[in-house]
Structure 1
Amino acid sequence: MNRVIHPIEQESFRRLRARLDTSGFPPLTRAVVERVVHSSADLEYAADLVMDEAQLERAHAALHTGAPVVADVEMVAAGITRRETVCRLREARSGPGLTRSAHAVRLAYEEVGPGAVWVIGCAPTALEELLTLDVSPALVIGLPVGFVGAAESKAALRESGLPAVSNVSEKGGSAVAAAALNALLYHPVSTEETL
């Protein structure tokens, strides 16, 4: 099913590309960078995001063959427009040394097992918990936001060797995490260009 692109979105991307040259990025990296910048109106993401095109290609293939998608919070899940997601925050409970977000990751992993795409845009503790599990993900989009633990959890993700999209700074959030995933969902399976 082809996605209908609203004229406002087309104009927004035209303006984005007039202000930011993304032509040097490989196709999926470009798609993620542009979608994240579009969702945040923050051109600095172009230099702040960290990802690998080969990992994105494998994740793109996994998504388009039905890999489950897990979101850390409902705001991330709500922003993912072309796929049902697993989000277990409502059932999760906090306890000694365990935040609700971390427990939600455990619950989701029990449901989906290995091979999922994980989208974490809110809680650094969710990303930290994910790194303690043997998730064998197709991809981890780790873009939690905050002054406590966000940059550190993303650095740990990059050091883990897991296939990932992250960023270096404390910036992030539900909208940009969902945008990064949507970029992979919207990108066609063929090599054609897309918004």
Structure 2
Amino acid sequence: MTRVVHPIEQESYRILRSRVDTSHLPPLTRAVVERVIHASADLDYLDETVCQEEHLAAAVRALRAGAPIVADVEMVAAGITARRALCRVREASAGDGLTRSAAAVRLALDEVGPGAVWVVGCAPTALEELIRLDARPALVVGMPVGFVGAAESKEHLRASGLPSVTNRSEKGGSAVAAAAVNALLYAV
């Protein structure tokens, strides 16, 4: 099915490209960065987003092959528009030193196993738990927001060597994390 782009979205991208030059970016990186900027109206994401084209290409191949998408919270799952995302935060319980979001990562991993695309836009604790586990993801979109642990969890993700899309500050959130994965899904 071909995606129909609304004229308002087309105009938004025209304005975005008039304000910032993304033409030097590889195609999938450009798609991710532009969609994140579009979702946030924050041009800083051009310089702040960290990803590698080969990781994005591998994620697109995994998504084409039916890899599951797992979201840390329901707001992230709701923002992923091209495919249903799994979120187990409602079923999870905090305890044993884990937040509900971190416990939900464990529940979801037991369900989906390796090769999933993980999308974290809210909970730094979910991202930290995912890094600790042997999830063997196709990709981790790690863009949690906040002043407590968000920047540090993203730094840990970059240091982990896992294939990822992330950013370098406290900024992030459900909308930008979902936007990053939507950009890849639209490429599928």
TM-score by length of 2: 0.99
Please tell me the residue identity of whatever aligns with 1:97.
G
Matched, 1:121 2:153: no
Matched, 1:169 2:166: no
Please tell me the residue identity of whatever aligns with 2:28.
L
Note the aligned Cα RMSD (angstroms): 0.6
**1-structure distance, mates of 2:149, 2:129:** 12
Taking the TM superposition and a 5 Å limit, the aligned residue runs for 1:143-154 are 143-154=143-154
Taking the TM superposition and a 5 Å limit, the aligned residue runs for 1:179-190 are 179-187=179-187, 189=188
Structure 1: 5+ residue runs without aligned partners? 190-195
**1-structure distance, mates of 2:79, 2:64:** 18
**1-structure distance, mates of 2:95, 2:179:** 31
- Offset of 1:72 from its aligned partner? 0.3
Please tell me the residue identity of whatever aligns with 1:7.
P
Aligned to 1:37: 37
**1-structure distance, mates of 2:117, 2:105:** 12
Aligned to 2:138: 138
Deviation string, structure 1 residues 111-144 (Cα, Å, up to 9, x no partner): 0000000000000000000011100000000000
Aligned to 1:192: none
- Offset of 1:64 from its aligned partner? 1.3
**2-structure distance, mates of 1:127, 1:112:** 16
**2-structure distance, mates of 1:95, 1:65:** 35
**1-structure distance, mates of 2:176, 2:85:** 16
Matched, 1:160 2:160: yes
Please tell me the residue identity of whatever aligns with 2:64.
H
Please tell me the residue identity of whatever aligns with 2:46.
A
Aligned to 1:53: 53
Matched, 1:18 2:18: yes
Structure 2: 5+ residue runs without aligned partners? none
Describe the SS at the equivalent of 1:131.
helix
Identity %: 72
Please tell me the residue identity of whatever aligns with 2:20.
L
Deviation string, structure 1 residues 45-83 (Cα, Å, up to 9, x no partner): 000000000111101111111100000000000000011
**2-structure distance, mates of 1:9, 1:64:** 25
- Offset of 1:7 from its aligned partner? 0.4
Aligned to 1:104: 104
TM-score by length of 1: 0.95
How many correspondences in the alignment?
A: 188
Taking the TM superposition and a 5 Å limit, the aligned residue runs for 1:71-86 are 71-86=71-86
